[in-house]
Amino acid sequence: MLRVGVIGGGQLARMMQPAAINLGIQLRVFAEAENSSAHLSATAVGDYLDPAALLSFAKGVDAVTFDHEHVPKHLLEMLEREGVKVRPGSAALIHAQNKLFMRKKLASLGVSQPIWAAAKTAAEIEDFISKNGPEIIVKTPIGGYDGKGVRVVSSVQEVQDWLDSISDFGGELLLEQKVPFVTELAQLSARRPSGKIKIWPLAKTVQVSGVCSEVIAPVSDVGDQAKNIALTISEGLGVVGVMAVELFQVDSGELFVNELAMRPHNSGHFTIEGSVTSQFEQHLRAVLDLPLGSTGLNAPFAAMLNLLGQDDSNTMQPHFSKAMDLVPEAKFHLYEKAPRKGRKMGHVTILGDEPNTILKRANLARAAIYGN
Amino acid sequence: MLRVGVIGGGQLARMMQPAAINLGIQLRVFAEAENSSAHLSATAVGDYLDPAALLSFAKGVDAVTFDHEHVPKHLLEMLEREGVKVRPGSAALIHAQNKLFMRKKLASLGVSQPIWAAAKTAAEIEDFISKNGPEIIVKTPIGGYDGKGVRVVSSVQEVQDWLDSISDFGGELLLEQKVPFVTELAQLSARRPSGKIKIWPLAKTVQVSGVCSEVIAPVSDVGDQAKNIALTISEGLGVVGVMAVELFQVDSGELFVNELAMRPHNSGHFTIEGSVTSQFEQHLRAVLDLPLGSTGLNAPFAAMLNLLGQDDSNTMQPHFSKAMDLVPEAKFHLYEKAPRKGRKMGHVTILGDEPNTILKRANLARAAIYGN
């Protein structure tokens, strides 16, 4: 029987479970805590920084993959030296772990991206602001997610704390032009070790306070730009598994790469119902080097809204009755996470013929499950 | 958190897992063995005939439902007396457990069914053959499935063994006219305790040696007959959960009820990908008395082929590579069951615009996974 090991027990590992059950693949999750979102498949609970625990876990599976990008490179390399199939491999994953590495590599591949620079000093930041300001983006190269580790600033003072502890972030900060985008997009793809790549239709994403709130797919007015960017990056970096490329679209229609993720991604949750092959099934196929499934859509459009924690008490499930009654076509997903304001607790997806209609219906479902 | 208990750890319990994971519902399975198909959710392993074990299991969940119909009525009644929500309830389920009870009840509801009779003696069987023969169907009222407990006979001698042990079957055999059907159909529906019913589009089934081989949906040339039969039975019996009504269609177009199942059913596996709400999710919603989901289709047609054991060694997964390569749109499902000739090991589903095309593609996928 095929076995896939996942490091991290969050909602991405959780959502790999239905795909694994369908295919009769054993999913084994290395979770950080007993009550993780993917607890049903947790065969190890502990600290992924413990090399012995990590190796013991990895030795029992056909391929190791990830719920998050936090496993340090030296541990991934240790696993690879021991013959473990780490997918994506350490040499590719570093570009999703370190945003400066990513910018450098994308530059070498000729991929369109915002003006950027690495900075070690206040003077370098001041210089970048004077050339690309008044506002610029400063990012910690490692450790950021969902808007954390990202600031819009117009003075060095606003990132003085990061400069003071710059060694925590690899000794440099990433400075980026604030792109005057009109739309944010996400291009999902998957690649298997043999090199075969499948691309899903392009999605439009809407962020609120740096957190994804809404995804609608497909959007089709940017031609092959997004597809070609994904192909260039996936091949150029030797990615294995699902990759999401977050893109800025500016007024002229041109695209710029914002972020990369080498795993199933929030912007691809619509594929669970919306695509013949979900990003979770495709990721399992890819890391096992199985042929990739069709990325065709099951409906003209799919809309996905995140269900974000409203407070410390609303687990959302008590509102199923109202929400399901109001919107019988809505597909609800809850991640079994303790409620906390702003936390990704679940999502809701609706398929249909007309984007505005399904967005409206999805918003109705979300309002109901929020208890409104 | 909502909790559903399932008695029996077969593939139907297994396929409830993805639906439960999506909705953040805890599924607890009372399995008969450690290595059951639904082992991932098994919280109890033992004998469901043990009243104490059954009650202890049932007390921990919001509703108890079933992977099979084998739990005796007196145990279900015991659970009900103890306040357990048994869904479907014992008073309904008896009609799926005992085919004579079913025939009597359907007669009282005026539902169209084959000519039938109960028989205790050889003389009664001879009389039925002389009136409805030369061939008739004899069924053991209890304990049959997948063609077992069903014989086509033209003489008493062919069921002498059943007559000799008639007390094992409740003291009577069920005799039925051999209906000259042109097609077999299956009507899937779901009902929640409050009475709300949802009906899926009608499916056509093809049996080989008494075992379902192929399902295609929708078929639409029988008007509202099948829908009305399902409504009459579901309401008349007070079913809670999914119900499948197997139907014979004769040359004139008229339908006759063949069998009933009060649980997700092989004929409804196409709903996993084919319908907005799968039979497994709908069953969970129904037994928890949540609003039922849309039973609309995600494509014009769905074709489902069972993957039957070819021998004692082909686990089918080693053929994924070939099968997935040939048919990237196929959805493969494996049940983690030890291979055995004729055993239901999994199934494959394909959605599409044209029934013959998807049947052909599904057959290609099946042949590949059989290793042909």
Per-residue pLDDT of chain B in tens (372 residues, 90 and over written 9) = 999 999 999 999 999 999 999 999 999 999 999 999 999 999 999 999 999 999 999 999 999 999 999 999 999 999 999 999 999 999 999 999 999 999 999 999 999 999 999 999 999 999 999 999 899 999 999 876 666 789 999 999 999 999 998 988 889 999 999 999 999 999 999 999 998 999 999 999 999 888 889 999 999 778 799 999 999 999 999 999 999 999 999 999 999 999 999 999 999 999 999 999 999 999 999 999 999 999 999 999 999 999 999 999 999 999 999 999 999 999 999 999 999 999 999 999 999 999 999 999 999 999 999 998
Strand B63-66 versus strand B3-7 pairing type: parallel
B168 vs B113: CA distance, rounded Å: 25
Hey, how many other C-beta atoms are within 10 angstroms of the C-beta on B167? 8
Q: Phi, psi at residue A92, to the nearest 5°? A: -85, -45
Q: Which residues pair with B313 in a beta bridge?
A: none
Residue A33 structural domain: 3-86
Contact A17 B22 (CB under 8 A): no
Chain B residue numbers with beta carbons less than 8 Å from the beta carbon of A37 are none
Task: Name every residue whose Cβ is closer than 8 Å to that of residue A348 and which is 6 or more positions away in sequence.
Answer: A304, A305, A307, A330, A331, A332, A333, A362, A365, A366, A369
Q: How many domains does chain B have?
A: 3
CATH number at residue B35: 3.40.50.20
A74 CB burial (10 A radius; 0-12, 13-18, 19+) = exposed
Q: Residue A175 in contact with residue A119, Cβ under 8 Å?
A: yes
3-state secondary structure of A358: helix
How is residue B143 written in tokens? Answer: 């304990």
Cis upstream peptide for B218 (omega within 30°):
yes
How far is it, in rounded angstroms, from Cα B320 to Cα B370?
Answer: 10
Tell me which of A177, A197, A224 is where a domain ends.
A177
As beta bridge partners, residue A139 has: A150, A174
- One domain for residues B173 and B185: no
* A202, A348: one domain: yes
Of A17, A277, A317, the CB nearest to B21: A17
DSSP of A40-90, one letter per residue?
GGEEEES-TT-HHHHHHHHHTSSEEEESSS-S-HHHHHHHHHTT--BSS-H
Q: Does any CB of chain B come closer than 8 Å to the CB of residue A18?
A: yes
Domain CATH number, residue B138: 3.30.1490.20
Here the ipTM equals 0.95
**Least CB–CB distance from A293: residue in B294, B315, B324:** B324
β-bridge mates for residue A187, sequence order: A245
| Residue appearing with tokens 């190269």 | A141
Measured over the CA atoms of residue A61, residue A64, residue A67 and residue A68, the dihedral's sign is positive
B125 and B79 in a single domain? The answer is: no
Query: Of the candidates B299, B324, B336, which has its C-beta nearest A290's C-beta?
Result: B324
- Token pair in block for residue A154: 């117009």
**How many residues are there in chain B?**
372
Q: Does residue B91 lie within any of the structural domains? A: no
B50/B129 same-domain check: no
Shortest Cα distance, chain B CAs vs residue A180, angstroms: 37
**Claim to verify: residue B20 and residue B42 sit in the same structural domain:** yes
Q: Same domain for A22 and A119?
A: no
Residues B244 and B277 in one domain: yes
* Domain identity same for B60 and B147: no
Q: Return the pLDDT at B142.
A: 85
Residues A358 and A223 in one domain: yes
Residue A250's φ and ψ, nearest 5 degrees, are: -100, 175
